[in-house]
Every structure is written in C-alpha cells, then in structure tokens.
Amino acid sequence: MGMTQQMAEHQANIIDGRHHARKLESRVAAAATDLKTNHGITPTLGVILVEGNPASEIYVRKKRQKAESLGIKSIVKTLPPDTALSAIESQITAWNSDDSIHGILLQLPLPGRQDPYDLLQTIAPAKDVDALHALNAGKLFWQQTRQPMPCTPTGCLILLESAVKKFDGLHAVVVGASPLVGRPMAQLLLQKNCTVSIAHSKTKDLPALTRQADILVVATGNADLIRGDMIKPGATVIDVGINRLADGRITGDVCFEEAERIAGAITPVPGGVGPMTIACLMANTVTAAFHAHALELESLFKSADN
Ligand SMILES: NC(=O)c1ccc[n+]([C@@H]2O[C@H](COP(=O)([O-])OP(=O)(O)OC[C@H]3O[C@@H](n4cnc5c(N)ncnc54)[C@H](OP(=O)(O)O)[C@@H]3O)[C@@H](O)[C@H]2O)c1
C-alpha cells in the first residue's frame, strides 16, 4: 500500500463534546439536587441580555434551557439595545447584594462592541460564573482552583484530557489570544506542564508554528483558518471557532475534512466545545451556590473517567 493511500485512510478519533458535557451535567444535576433536598437552596443564575444580537439571544435561550434541565433556576433580565452602561451596572449591583442569586452572567458582546472590562469588574467575584473578573483571571494565573473557572477553556481541557494521556512537555499551540478563550486556555495548558505558544493575528508564519503542535487549540472566528497541512500528524485538535457560513451552516476554524485525515483526535463543530462551555457555566453556578453558603463541594470538573 502506497504512502498516499495510507494517509488517505487515516481517520482521527472524534472527540464527542455532547457525550462529555452530559457526564459533567449529571454531576452538576446531582449537586443541585443535593443543595435543594439537604439544604433547601435552589442554585440560581442571573443573566443580563442586552437585546440586538440574534446570536446572543440564541445562546441565552440555550443556557436557560440547560439550567432548567439541571435543576438550576435562571432569571433573564432583558434590556433594550440602547441601555446605558450605568443601567446595566445597576442591575449587576442589585444582584450582587441579592443572596438568592448565586451566579451573574453578562452576555457578551455589548451593543456597539463596547469594551466590557469596566462592567465586568462590577460583578462580585464570587458570582462571576464566566470567570472574567480580573480577580478570577489573576487567581487562575496563580493556579488557584476555588474560584469560578473560565468556561470555554475548562471545557476544552476536559475534552483534551479525554484524548491525551500525558501532557508533560507537549507543545501546545493556542491560536487566538482573547481574554475569553485564548489567554485562559494557555494558562490551563501551562498548568498541565505543556510548553505553550500563543498565536494571534500578528503571528508570523502561523503554519510553521501550528505544525509543531502536539495539542492545537484554535479560537479565532475565521472559518477554515487551519488547513490539513498545518497540522502535525497525530496531533489533538480542539476547534473552538463558531462561524456561520453564507448558506446558514455552522463551521469551526479548522477545515474538518482535511484535519480528520491528519490529526489523532479532533472536536467537531457543532457538537464539540460548544456543549462543554454551557456545562462548565452550570458547574460554576452550582459551585458558587455551595460556596455562598459555606458548603464544601468536590470539584465538579474532575472525574475518575474523564
Ligand atoms: N464554542 C464555544 O463555546 C465558544 C465560546 C467562545 C467563543 N467561541 C468562538 O471562538 C472564536 C473566538 O472567540 P473569541 O471571543 O476568542 O474572539 P476574539 O475576541 O475576536 O479573539 C480572536 C483572537 O483570534 C486572533 N486572530 C484573528 N484572526 C487571526 C488569524 N487570521 N490568525 C491568527 N489569529 C487570529 C485575534 O488576534 P489579535 O489578538 O491579534 O486580534 C484574537 O486574539 C469565535 O468564533 C467565537 O464565536 C466559541
């Protein structure tokens, strides 16, 4: 059999995000039941949605449905598109001092793509279930684990743990450097003892870098940015990107058809990282509810058979 034929027959393992999300969700649901039956507490998530972004409205609906299915109450405060930042802040501060709200989520992006940094700092760090407050980002830097964990990167790590046996010394390349995904992802991979490179839009010769990656996590918002010949044979590839094509289909940042012939394991889009992000948000919310009542809870993110 010729080399080309062998290459053509290789098929990466598909990392099933829905399967791993269900496993995490069952732990979340069990913890929510424990809170309710043994302590009379209903874990509650407050979501602020500024109208005007159809994708955000879909994400909030999905989060709400998932919360309800796991025994988490959700309250959505919908504000008109022209809401002043001060009015959003008032809602946040009201929920900060409301003991019945355990998690606060400000759905991003803000209208007009305004910088959300200042508003995010008004969320009480213990209720910051998206882990975007500077204090929580700083605690991650210090390898602390009691604070809310960044949802998408934590979900990616759980998926990676299902595919990678030993992380020590592996070269992990993270493409994308946002505070939401790329930067905290790099921190988590560093904690796993990977050698981490972070690429972004100014990176020179991206293919030369990605070809060195044993672990490749891509989060840029560019459909098909990563082609098959940019992937090291056998690499584990996590595709965070969500891109809507002209025909309405959703695709990631990795050209899946090419990548699955080269990679060792890969996440699909949809059905990869997306479900994990929501599951991690739910885990942060239930954990915040335990901590708000000085109750201990073993990390929901860890399981014997990840
Ligand atoms: N599946 C999920 O649950 C989930 C969750 C969150 C986000 N997402 C998706 O993930 C993607 C990224 O989200 P984000 O919030 O991190 O986006 P973002 O804030 O726009 O950041 C994008 C990052 O990608 C870099 N980048 C852009 N074009 C690039 C290129 N051609 N080559 C290399 N790097 C490039 C940017 O570089 P600079 O820093 O130089 O600008 C930036 O660091 C989006 O598609 C988003 O929808 C998915």
Ligand 1 centre and the CA of 176: distance in Å? 5
Q: What is the pLDDT of residue 187?
A: 98
Residue with CA closest to ligand 1 atom 32: 201
Tell me the C-alpha distance between 257 and 14, whole Å: 12
Tell me the C-alpha distance between 158 and 164, whole Å: 10
Catalytic one among 66, 107, 147, 253? Answer: 107
Tell me the C-alpha distance between 17 and 23, whole Å: 10
Can you tell me the mean pLDDT for 220-247? 97
Residue with CA closest to ligand 1 atom 9: 241
Catalytic one among 66, 127, 128, 130? Answer: 130
Can you tell me the mean pLDDT for 160-183? 98
Answer whether residue 6 shows pLDDT above 60.
Answer: no
Predicted TM-score (pTM) above 0.85: yes
Residue with CA closest to ligand 1 atom 20: 220
- Is 213 in a helix, a strand, or coil? coil
Domain boundaries of the chain, sorted by first residue: 8-15+151-273
Tokens 């050209």, residue? Answer: 255
For the question of residue 130 being annotated catalytic, the response is yes
Nearest CA to 95 out of 86, 87, 103 is that of 103
| 21-59 per-residue burial string, b: 16 or more CB within 10 A, e: under 16 | beebbebbbebbebbeeeeebebbbbbbbbeebeebeeb
For the question of residue 202 being annotated catalytic, the response is no
Least-confidence region, from 6-10, 143-147, 294-298: 6-10
Domain 8-15+151-273 sits in CATH 3.30.43.10: no
Pocket around ligand 1: residues whose beta carbon is below 6 Å from it? Answer: 152, 175-178, 180-182, 199-203, 206, 219-222, 225, 240-243, 273-274, 277
Ligand 1 centre and the CA of 222: distance in Å? 8
- Is 103 in a helix, a strand, or coil? strand
DSSP 226: B
pLDDT tens, 32-66? Answer: 999 999 999 999 999 999 999 999 999 999 999 99
Ligand 1 centre and the CA of 173: distance in Å? 14
pLDDT tens, 250-282? Answer: 999 999 999 999 999 999 999 999 999 999 999
Q: What is the pLDDT of residue 302?
A: 85
